[in-house]
């Protein structure tokens, strides 16, 4: 991968990570059109750039949640177990909910790592997931109420959000798309469903990115088709800058408009990729076939 391709990948990652359109699907498709699948390791590492943008944008919320979580854990509000778990502090309880919501993707990622890095990267699976979750997002966004906020989040909701995030291990589902779709199904407002999606992704994405970074330092990384550190670092920096700008714009857009446009976009991209697969321009598990 040359630096032009790395910059392109960083732009794609930054533009699509926070939108419910699947950044991993776009990286997978772009890589195929460029003649290579950059691999799950490259995808996980450059997500560190976009998640760093989340840390910067939500720094005050994150600092508040962490400080309240640690204070409750130490027993600031009392020695009862329920109090230490944040029963009397919404910020502390939100910290616990983020932890609970992270567990499904961690467990599934460890159990199905080989499938995630190989078979699930089949472009026909990506096409199917783009369409299915595009339709689900369209339906739930149109039919569900907009009454619940992040302050009303429950443990049950955290588990459901976590399942939505777990499904994003399959390219085409979308991490934000899965959590936002499930959030809208639960009746959360469009903006709060997005905020929960951003916050819940932080430990999962950083964990995966750091793990893949260490793996890619060795021979195993080279053997898996890792494109190299120069290109990867370049793409990560670009994804950070673009991602920060996208967060600002996205939260303004969803506070005014529905997710319908994103759902239509997902389906349109799926149709285009399907046509490229049918005509032989793309191969399901490789780059362009011509």
Q: What is the pLDDT along the chain (290 residues), one digit of tens a residue?
A: 778 888 898 999 899 888 998 887 888 788 888 876 676 677 778 888 998 999 999 999 999 999 988 888 877 665 667 666 666 788 989 999 999 999 999 899 888 877 776 677 788 999 999 999 999 999 999 999 889 999 999 999 999 999 999 998 888 888 899 999 999 999 999 999 999 999 998 998 888 778 777 776 664 444 455 667 888 889 899 999 999 999 999 999 998 889 999 999 999 999 999 999 999 888 887 555 44
**Can you read off the two tokens belonging to residue 257?**
């408009």
Report the length, in residues, of the chain: 290
Tokens 């994003």 belong to 168
Contact 16, 28 (CB under 8 A): no
pTM for the whole thing? 0.85
- Long-range pairs of 114-120 with CB within 8 A, sequence gap ≥ 24: 116/40, 116/169, 116/170, 117/39, 117/40, 117/41, 117/224, 120/169, 120/170, 120/171
What are the C-alpha distances in Å from 150 to residues 40, 77, 118, 143, 201?
A: 31, 22, 36, 20, 15
Tokens 């699948």 belong to 37
**Can you read off the two tokens belonging to residue 53?**
């943008």
Helices (H), 190-228: 190-216, 219-223
């Amino acid at each position: 991968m040359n630096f032009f391709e790395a910059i392109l990948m960083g732009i794609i990652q930054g533009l699509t990570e926070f939108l419910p359109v699947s950044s991993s699907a776009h990286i997978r498709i772009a890589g195929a059109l460029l003649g290579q699948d950059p691999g799950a390791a490259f995808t996980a590492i450059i997500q560190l750039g976009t998640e760093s943008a989340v840390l910067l944008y939500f720094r005050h919320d994150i600092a508040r949640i962490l400080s309240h979580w640690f204070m409750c854990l130490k027993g600031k509000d009392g020695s009862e177990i329920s109090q230490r778990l944040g029963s009397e502090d919404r910020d502390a309880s939100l910290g616990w909910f983020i932890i609970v919501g992270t567990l499904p993707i961690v467990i599934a990622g460890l159990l199905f790592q080989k499938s995630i890095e190989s078979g699930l990267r089949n472009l026909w699976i990506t096409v199917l997931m783009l369409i299915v979750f595009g339709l689900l997002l369209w339906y739930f966004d149109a039919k569900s109420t907009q009454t619940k906020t992040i302050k009303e989040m429950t443990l049950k909701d955290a588990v459901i959000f976590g399942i939505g995030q777990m499904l994003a291990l399959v390219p085409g589902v979308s991490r934000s798309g899965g959590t936002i779709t499930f959030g809208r199904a639960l009746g959360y407002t469009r903006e709060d469903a997005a905020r929960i999606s951003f916050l819940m992704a932080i430990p999962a994405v950083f964990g995966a990115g750091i793990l893949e970074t260490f793996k890619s330092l060795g021979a195993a990384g080279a053997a898996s088709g890792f494109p190299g550190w120069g290109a990867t670092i370049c793409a990560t920096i670009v994804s950070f800058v673009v991602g920060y700008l996208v967060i600002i714009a996205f939260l303004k857009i969803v506070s005014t408009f529905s997710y319908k446009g994103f759902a239509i976009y997902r389906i349109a991209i799926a149709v285009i990729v399907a046509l490229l697969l049918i005509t032989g321009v793309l191969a399901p598990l490789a780059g362009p076939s011509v």
